[in-house]
Amino acid sequence: MDLLNSFIVGFGAYLSGSMILAVTLSIASYFVIPKLLGGHPKNWKNAPPGPAGWPILGSLPHLSHRLHEDFFHLALIYGPLFSLNMGIKPAIVVSSPEMAALFLKEKEGMFSSRTITEAILVVTYDAHSIIFSPYGPRWKALRKILITELLSPKAFEQFEPLRTKQVHGLLKYLYLISKSNTQVNIAESAFTALANLVSNILCSKSLFDNSKPEGKKMKEMFWEMIKVLGTPNFADLIPIVKPFDPQGFKRKVRNIFDQLDAFYEKLIEERLAERKGQLETTANNEKMDMLDVLLSYRSNDKENGLDRFSRFIIKGMLSEMFIAGTETTSSTVEWGMTEILRKPRIHKKLLLELDQVVGKNRFVVESDLPNLPYLQATVKEVFRLHPGVPLILPRRANEACEVAGYHIPKHCIVYVNIWGMARDPKEWENPLEFKPERFIGSSVDVKGQDFNLLPFGTGRRSCVGWPLAHRMVHYYLAAFLHAFEWDSPPEILNDMNERVGLTLQKDKSLLSIPKPRLPASVYEL
């Protein structure tokens, strides 16, 4: 019921007497009509099994803000594919690798669209971004640019010095902090370094400098936007209340968005002014950042209806990459450090491997990572138990269709509960145990081909930035563990409660005092 509390409080202030009467009669009918009919009807004709909800509210009164947990428990009752109504919107929940393969691989074309919330529409400029664009010419053009300019083997190699600079710069900063025996917020440290990495890839600037007021303000704005995006908005599920904005949700989003929009506009205008004064840059084949690439886009495919990108598309891409490229990775690093520091046996094995491969006279570099098999297995285990987005990003049925013998209505929301699958004893032995050894000698990977491990999704709508996120989780964990011992308060280290937002974060942030493991000369180079 706690999912409904904020809605009820806000909505009560806006309801007219006639609306209260209508809602009351609708809810009362929930108890009267089933008795006349001899039981509760299905959610829709030939729907998968599932809890039949209330009129208007659907199953919302029975759900909390921890949907991944609620869906996990409902799957134990109704099976790996069940139905429910989220407000007035039909939804299905997929809870097994077999069902996930059916919806995301065999029937992928039918479920290639996203479910888009009101907040996402605002932040991505009416879905002008790669994650939320409808499948079509715009999405294909954006995906091609990202893969070619950012994630191709050549581009990935070109950005390696930048990644190394950010990681090693953070280690040197932590070394200075260690001299004062001060606690470090690991997730916040990783977030800031990742945000600066992303901002350098996008616009060749470090925009999140904690030593400058504007850098702190930038970080605060993005943290606030991430918090708001992770808050359920009932107007998305019960459209009749949209004009009333009962939770004040749209006002909150707009307030933060207006500040970010002004920031994106400033970035674009500054770059356009620079380009006017430096027309020879492209001719000299100098490396362009992503903002240059987006501003320079010209389509040679006349049939795709997209000659060049509008400013909405460019700002939508900037917004999406800043948010998606930071929060999920930093929270995964925090969970990884927490699990490792709680398990002395695993921690010791990782340090032994790191010292054998890297030694103690330099920092970890990316070329070390392929030679660290126990670290790789540990990261897979982190992704298994702590996926950044526990329900992936909800898909939507493009058309009404039949799947597994059931009717799926048009625009039905499709949730895939990868968090729940990681806790299914049918799929994993001792699923709640953090055990990297389960991946030693295993071919199971996170690339989207193994449907029991899908932290980045799968298929055409998988996370296009997964190679960067995958690399950085390995890099940060290796660098943190190799360069420092960490002293954490037991009450924080052993608190494994989750805070639900845009991602699954650790409820009590991991605070730890870094203590250097390497000679001082390594940090002072």
HSE toward the beta carbon, residue 51, CA cutoff 13 A: 21
Q: Considering only 41-55, 301-315, 456-470, 478-492, which range has the smallest mean pLDDT?
A: 301-315
Contact 206, 196 (CB under 8 A): yes
Q: How far from chain centre, in Å, is Cα 492?
A: 24
The pLDDT confidence band at residue 525, using thresholds 50, 70 and 90, is: confident
pLDDT at 471 over 60: yes
pLDDT at 283 over 50: no
**pLDDT tens string 9-28:** 444 433 344 344 444 544 44
Mean pLDDT confidence for 69-73? 96
- Helix 311-324, helix 186-203: angle, nearest 10: 150
What's the chain's average pLDDT?
Answer: 86
Q: Considering only 115-119, 226-230, 246-250, 301-305, which range has the smallest mean pLDDT?
A: 301-305
pLDDT of the residue at 41:
58
- Cα 308 to Cα 290: distance, rounded to the nearest angstrom: 15
pLDDT at 58 over 60: yes
pLDDT of the residue at 286:
56
pLDDT of the residue at 37:
38
Mean pLDDT confidence for 251-255? 85
pLDDT at 457 over 70: yes
By CB atoms closer than 10 A (0-12, 13-18, 19+), residue 157 is: exposed
Mean pLDDT confidence for 514-524? 96
Contact 229, 252 (CB under 8 A): no
Question: Residues annotated in the binding site, as ranges?
Answer: 463
**Range picked from 296-300, 489-493, 501-505 for highest mean pLDDT:** 489-493
pLDDT of the residue at 304:
60
> Considering the entire predicted model, what is its pTM?
0.89
pLDDT of the residue at 232:
78
* 117 or 282, which is more confident: 117
- Cα 415 to Cα 101: distance, rounded to the nearest angstrom: 13
The pLDDT confidence band at residue 3, using thresholds 50, 70 and 90, is: low
**Phi (first) and psi of residue 516, to 5 degrees:** -55, 140
Mean pLDDT confidence for 281-309? 70
- Domains of the chain (ranges, CATH numbers): 2-524 (1.10.630.10)
pLDDT of the residue at 411:
94
The DSSP annotation for 228-253 comes to HHTS--GGGT-GGGGGG-TTSHHHHH
pLDDT of the residue at 378:
98
- Cα 331 to Cα 67: distance, rounded to the nearest angstrom: 19
- Cα 314 to Cα 295: distance, rounded to the nearest angstrom: 7
Mean pLDDT confidence for 502-518? 92
Percent of the chain with pLDDT over 90: 57
Question: Residues annotated in the binding site for heme, as ranges?
Answer: 463
The pLDDT confidence band at residue 115, using thresholds 50, 70 and 90, is: confident
Mean pLDDT confidence for 338-349? 97
The pLDDT confidence band at residue 343, using thresholds 50, 70 and 90, is: very high
**pLDDT tens string 423-443:** 999 999 999 999 999 999 999
Mean pLDDT confidence for 205-210? 83
* 34 or 276, which is more confident: 276
Contact 1, 54 (CB under 8 A): no
Tokens, residue 228: 């708001």
- Cα 56 to Cα 240: distance, rounded to the nearest angstrom: 10
CA-based R_g, the chain, Å? 24
pLDDT of the residue at 305:
60
